[in-house]
Chain A
Amino acid sequence: MSRTRLVKTTQKSGFKYTLKKFARQKYLQMMVIPGIIWMLIFNFIPMGGIIIAFKKYKITRTIAEAPWVGLKYFQDFFQDSNFTSVMTNTLGISFLKLILGFPLPIIFALLINEIRNVKFKKFAQTISYLPHFLSWVVLGGILTTWLSKTGVINDFFVWLGIIKEPISFLGKPEYFWGLAFISDSWKELGWSAIIYLAAISGVDTQMYEAATVDGATKMQKIRYITLPSIAGTVAIMLILQVSSLLNSNFDQIMNLKNSINIARSQVIDTYVYQVGMTQGNYSYATAVGLFKSIVALILLVIANKTCKKLLGRSLYR
């Protein structure tokens, strides 16, 4: 008896059954559908709006009226006199952050983990999160003051005897990449370490105990237990960072760049803003933005595949 009933319900798993199920969970659907509509409007309509990258769009007219121009704006961008400097700056800052900056939070997490005093450990963590919560406007304000000729940094360096004459750091383009890298690393050091700390706290403590019995040193434990245990997390963070090589920290750059250091501070994101919003060149700016998104997607796929091959890890297991 019960067996026949079971057969009947499985046969019903067609369109009608789905509709019935949908009707039965109408309250749940009524809660979720506003979110879907929101995504359609605020995420997917702008994605459709990318079409203006291939059209000559003016804000006074509709998108449909604008004439098609094909890949004109992409060609324009590749031949733009700013193309080389914008690409160099974007990649330069990103590679500094990737090569020098990527290991920093991992090292920081390992060091935090070695603190014995629980209260001090908690204190150091809390304090290290602080810069993450500050706005780049406030930090930009502090940094422009500090890096000026009469600022703290110059006073300190002159006092140490590293430099003789004060330097206007933000007034010298050659310092910009380094400043962008250092200030970003400082702001996000503690925050980025959270994820690694979480991974470290998940390591089975018995392994450390066994290693201690075998007479392993601290470095050996880190090298052979901790690092292999958090490799998966490291791989995922690496994939994400590689895929965002063409992304810059827009807030940071906008608050540190000025008319004097612009040769080294103009990155793709700020260029899109300048061309689009300041000069009103909507189609061109959208084309530049699209170019960036496509490269980012390609990088994501490549990084993901490489990690899968080398480490057997990927974003979607």
Chain B
Amino acid sequence: MRKTRSSKIKRSTGTLIFDWANTIFMLIICFLCIYPIWYVVVNSFNDAHDAMMGGIYWWPRMFSLENYRTVFADNRVLQAFKVTIAKTVIGTSVNVFFTAMVAYPMSKNYLVGRKFYMAMGTITMFFSGGLIPTFILFKKLNLLNNFMVYVIPAAFNFFNLLIFINFFNEIPPALEESARIDGATDWKIFRSIILPLSKPVLATIALFAGVGQWNDWFGGVMYMTTRMDLEPIQTYLYRMVAQVGSNQVAGSISAGNISAQSTTSTAIKLATMVITTLPICLVYPFLQKYFVKGVMVGAVKE
């Protein structure tokens, strides 16, 4: 419709002005969204001591790879990266497949107890026990200072389940029926017919769950009370940012009072921010057409 209009009907001056203003506005928004990342990237490639004095906006002033060398030489940081990668890979796959497995029967109207199960899930969307009762439960379940705290409590998500159900409902029932006549069990149908057909929705949920795991910093703060070696990189970064931040607020930094220690932590901070951010920036544009659908379904549904 847009194409026919732009080619057949001559645009008025007002429309032209609006189009230009809109384009410029959109370019400004795009700039505002990208620039913070760009800022961190150029600063991470700059000498850390020099970067702390500010004023690096577009390009490194003193180009250096030292920050990245510092990160990859720091065992504590490397360990935190390993934890993050492990929890993202394991936590995401468990969440995606467990939630899909529960969602498949729930997409069947004839499932006994379906209404009851849905009611249970809906309650969890609007009411929760909160921070402290959850913490006490995890303590009782021995999940504190345990890697499994990143996996088991994150294994299921009712919101994702709704997205799955909507997708499963659109798969033609004839595919399942023919398999059922051949004597396949529900589990077999789920595994060899439904899952292979559900790649778009699996990718969407994997992105949501994966970003959640990758960006989560609070789990480490909350549930790793003694095992610092099980802290993910975001928790490590959080502690460092909080420390550097309070220094920056307390007094302005001048060349004189920059200690060697704060130079190192700035170096690690800058390089780590880039390393934790880039994977996400590279992945999400390719999944865009899928997750847009997922967001719609989740929000429009009921």
Residues of A within 8 A of B (CB): 18, 21-22, 25, 27-32, 34-36, 38-39, 41-50, 52, 59, 63, 108, 111-112, 114-116, 120, 123-131, 133-142, 144-146, 148-152, 155, 166, 168, 170-171, 186, 189-191, 194-195, 198, 205, 208-209, 212, 218, 233, 236-237, 250-251, 254-255, 258-260, 272-273, 276-277, 282, 285-286, 289-290, 293, 297, 300, 315-317
Q: Is the CB of A198 within 8 A of B292?
A: yes
CA A291 – CA B46 in complex, angstroms? Answer: 49
- B226 nearest CB across to chain A (Å): 15
> Which residue on chain B has the smallest CB distance to residue A130?
B33
B174 sits at the interface (CB 8 A): no
- B133 and A198 contacting across the interface, CB-CB below 8 Å: no
Contact with A along B250-288 (1 / 0, CB 8 A): 101100000000000000010001001100110011001
Closest to B106 in A: A32
Contact A126 B288 (CB under 8 A): yes
Given the interface pairs A46-B129, A272-B132, the reply to whether A138 lies near B276 with Cβ below 8 Å is yes
> Is the beta-carbon distance between B117 and A115 smaller than 8 angstroms?
no
Q: Determine if B245 and A170 form an interchain contact, defined as CB atoms under 8 angstroms apart.
A: yes
Q: Would you list 8 pairs from A and B whose C-beta atoms are within 8 A, ordered by A residue?
A: A32-B102, A32-B105, A46-B129, A141-B269, A145-B248, A146-B39, A152-B54, A258-B245
B57 to chain A, nearest CB (A): 7
Beyond known contacts A137-B237, A139-B36, A258-B246: 5 more, CB 8 A cutoff = A31-B187, A32-B117, A116-B2, A120-B23, A144-B249
CB contact between A27 and one of B57, B153, B185 (< 8 Å): that residue:
B185
Which one of B26, B130, B277 lies within 8 Å of A115 (CB-CB)? B26
- Give min CB distance, B7 to chain A, whole Å: 11
- B63, CB-defined interface residue at 8 Å: no
Residue B299, interface by CB 8 Å:
yes
- Asked if A127 and B30 sit within 8 Å, CB to CB, the answer is yes
**B33–A128 CB distance below 8 A:** yes
Residues from chain B with a CB closer than 8 A to the CB of A150 are 53-55, 252-253
B98, B185, B211, B273: most-surrounded residue (chain A CB, <10 A): B273
Residues of B within 8 A of A46 (CB): 128-130, 133-134, 136-137
With a cutoff of 8 Å between Cβ atoms, the chain A residues found around residue B106 in the complex are 32
Contact flag A149-B252 (CB < 8 Å), given A127-B33, A233-B300, A315-B302: yes
Q: A31-B102, A170-B245, A277-B222 are in contact. Are A116 and B6 (CB under 8 A)?
A: yes
Contact B296 A194, beta carbon cutoff 8 Å: yes
Q: Are A195 and B295 in contact (CB under 8 A)?
A: yes
B33 touches A135 (CB 8 A): no
Q: Are A135 and B112 in contact (CB under 8 A)?
A: no
The answer to whether B1 has its CB under 8 Å from any CB of chain A is: yes
Measured between beta carbons, the chain A residues less than 8 angstroms from B59 are none
Any chain A CB within 8 A of the CB of B120?
yes
Contact string against A for B residues 52-93, beta-carbon threshold 8 Å, 1 for contact and 0 otherwise: 011101000000000000000000000000000000000000
A149–B250 Cα gap in the complex (Å)? 10
Instruction: Tell me the residues in window 122-146 of chain B with beta carbons closer than 8 Å to chain A beta carbons.
Output: 123-124, 126-137, 139
Does more than half of chain A's interface fall in helix, strand or loop, or is it mixed? Answer: helix
**Set B26, B54, B117, B186: member contacting A111, Cβ < 8 A:** B26
Partner of A39, one of B32, B121, B244: B121
Q: Which residues of A contact B117 (CB under 8 A)?
A: 32, 35-36
B228 at the interface (CB under 8 A from A): no
Q: Is the CB of A141 within 8 A of B126?
A: no
B82 to chain A, nearest CB (A): 18
Contacts of A34 in B (CB 8 A): 98, 101-102
Question: B273, A141: Cβ atoms under 8 Å?
Answer: yes
A315 contacts across to B, CB distance below 8 A:
302
Q: Which 3 A-B pairs have the closest CB atoms?
A: A46-B129, A49-B133, A35-B102
Smallest Cβ distance from A29 to chain B, in angstroms? 7
B137 contacts A22, CB within 8 Å?
Answer: no
CB within 8 Å of A: which B36-58 residues: 36-37, 39-40, 53-55, 57
Closest CB in chain A relative to B95 CB, distance in Å: 11
A133 touches which of B25, B134, B280 (Cβ 8 Å): B280
Decide if B132 touches A286 in the complex (CB within 8 Å).
yes
Assess whether B290 is interfacial by the CB under 8 Å rule. no
- Let me know if B245 and A140 touch, CB within 8 A: yes
Chain B neighbourhood of A111, CB < 8 A: 22, 25-26
CA distance A128 to B29 in the complex (A): 7
Is the CB of B168 closer than 8 A to any CB of chain A? no
Residue B167 lies at the interface, judged by CB distance under 8 Å to chain A? no
CB pair B300–A50 under 8 Å, yes or no, is no
For the complex, give the distance between the alpha carbons of A141 and B277 in Å: 12
Which residues of chain A are within 8 angstroms of B222 by Cβ–Cβ distance?
A: 277
**Provided the pairs A43-B124, A142-B36 are in contact, do residues A282 and B132 lie with their beta carbons within 8 angstroms?**
yes
Q: Tell which of A29, A218, A293 touches B18, judged by Cβ atoms closer than 8 Å.
A: A218
CB pair A297 B132 closer than 8 Å: no
Residue of B217, B245, B246, B284 ringed by the most chain A CB atoms within 10 A: B245
When distances are taken between beta carbons in the complex, the residues of chain A under 8 Å from B186 are 25, 27-28, 31
Residues in chain A near residue B185, CB distance under 8 A: 27
Nearest Cβ distance between residue A97 and chain B, in whole angstroms?
18
Q: Are B241's CB and A255's CB within 8 A? A: yes
Q: Which residue of A lies closest to B236 (CB)?
A: A137
Q: Which residues of A contact B39 (CB under 8 A)?
A: 142, 146, 152
A48, A49, A189, A218 — most chain B CB neighbours (10 Å) = A49
- Knowing A34-B98, A194-B295, A289-B132 are in contact, say whether A138-B273 is a contact too (CB < 8 A): yes
Q: Is the CB of B302 within 8 A of A135?
A: no
